Amino acid sequence: MEILMVISFLVLGLFLCLFLLKWNEIIIYHKKGLPPGTMGWPFLGETNEFLKQGPDFMKNKGARYGNVFKSHILGSPTIISMDPELNRYILLNEAKGLVPGYPKSMLDILGARNIAAVYGTTHKYLRNNMLSLVGTSLVKDRIFSRIDKYMKLYLSNWDSKIIDLQEKTMDMALLMAFKQIAEVESSSIYGAFKIEFDKLFIGSLSLPINLPGTNYYQGFEGRQNVIKILRDLMKKRRASAVTYEDMLDQLLRDLDTKYALNDDEIIDQIITILYSGYETVSTTSMMAVKYLHDHPKALEELRDEHFAIRKGKTADEPLDWEDYKSMRFTRAVIFETLRLATIINGVLRKTTHEMKLNGFVIPKGWRIYVYTREINYDPFLYPEPLKFNPWRWMDKSLETHNYCLLFGGGSRLCPGKELGIVNISIFLHYFVTRYSWDEIGEDQKILQFPRVEAPNGFHIKIMNLDKIEEI
């Protein structure tokens, strides 16, 4: 009798589990014409499996359901598209109701006037303002020389030190951006600012649980403190008769121009600039150094390129735009690093109304994960895709092919693309012409998903190149 009861409980439990697993599909998200796929547990969906299995989650689902399938991840019903044509279509057709769909925590902490939170005419307006600050001609005429000056300084005195390259490149990326925003004040306030900005950054990537002690809660605190520092700065600038040559000055002076912003918008725009270039520039720099270390031929060619630039200069002479334009192999190393490490796995969109894509019904408000990772390893586009081969990018047409979405595409194409490449190129210039380096420890772990990061840091020992040549 007891055995019968246990068996009945087990069977009941099994049915309950199966029912709960089907609950989302049958009751909550039931609709004819949806893409194939499963929605997982009520409320939780398949987030756990997605985060645990990473790229394999996508691969396994793709093998089972095809290039377009449905799931429930990160708190929202989501269509995952790994179809290159569809991905391109989605990025090029924001006007048809395919607007950014970033998670709540990110939007809450980055601000309501963050460029990724808006669309339509507001997006156009903020984007034009953004381009007037970081567009290529600005990088060439105003920003470049400042990056050169501070990067040279930043990379001095590293000789004989053991550093955590992950920490250093993150600091480098934020500092270089901060110097563009408030150059003069940066030396006195950057330290305090970075502590608060890091809280904001971590909070934006966390689950939206607003309880004391959570990253999300601290992210808000960070945002409030960042705002306070920026408001003080703006107040002081307004009270001063001095003119400065940096982005804050331009933002405050722009009041009569076509793309003037109010104070709240100025603050969100500054946070956006600092945030967008933070992890992208730092992780690409770190991974480029890692790949160069592992591929001595590529390092040799990169060094030759940079020594040829130095040859025509005195020791302290700065780099100029022409030097940057001549760094063809460096650019190839950066693109190959972005591809192979997949610094960006994809971008998020959501639908403003129900629509049909690839013959499937996509309900209003569903998120679409435009998953671009797989295309980075397409053997037709990139023969021997798992090999670090920067030479493949020496053919410039690869950078502009239809499915190269390393910097996004369409009306959201990264406005900081050239700025990011300039930062990394100048970093590599001073790094490889001054130093040689060895990794500490055989096997320093670098995670590839959901973000590229070294959970215990990435430690290297630095040696001055001069000293090595003397030996």
Closest separation between CB of residue 13 and ligand HEM, Å? 43
Q: Which stretch binds ligand HEM (CB under 6 A): 127-135, 141-149, 183-191, 257-265?
A: 127-135
* Cis peptide bond prior to 450, omega within 30° of 0: yes
Rounded to whole angstroms, the Cα distance separating 304 from 61 reads 45
Tokens 């605190």 belong to residue: 221
Show the site string, 57-96: x = touches ligand HEM by CB under 6 A, - = not.
----------------------------------------
Strands (E) across 284-387 are located at 346-351, 355-357, 360-362, 367-371
- Is 17 annotated as a binding-site member? no
Q: Which of 82, 106, 109, 134 binds ligand HEM (CB under 6 A)?
A: 134
H/E run at residue 273: helix 263-276
Q: Which stretch binds ligand HEM (CB under 6 A): 69-77, 193-201, 269-277, 388-396?
A: 269-277
| Binding residues among 331-370 for ligand HEM as defined by CB under 6 A | 338, 343-344, 347
Closest separation between CB of residue 435 and ligand HEM, Å? 22
Number of other CB atoms surrounding residue 21 within 10 Å:
15
Show the site string, 278-307: x = touches ligand HEM by CB under 6 A, - = not.
--xx--x-----------------------
Rounded to whole angstroms, the Cα distance separating 42 from 114 reads 31
Q: Kindly give the residue spans of alpha helices, DSSP state H, lying in 182-214.
A: 183-204
Which amino acid appears at position 114 of this protein?
N
Helical pair 278-294 and 296-311, crossing angle rounded to 10 deg? 110
Nearest residue to 434 (alpha-carbon basis) of 152, 144, 147: 152
Does the protein bind ligand HEM through residue 115 (CB under 6 A)? yes
Closest separation between CB of residue 415 and ligand HEM, Å? 5
Does the protein bind ligand HEM through residue 132 (CB under 6 A)? no
Structure tokens at 254: 């722009």
Which CB atom, from 40 or from 111, has the smaller least distance to ligand HEM?
A: 111
Binding-residue total with ligand HEM (CB under 6 A): 26
Which amino acid appears at position 62 of this protein?
G
Site residues, ligand HEM (CB under 6 A):
100, 115-116, 127, 130, 134, 272-273, 276-277, 280-281, 284, 338, 343-344, 347, 406-408, 412, 414-416, 419-420
Binding annotation for heme: 414
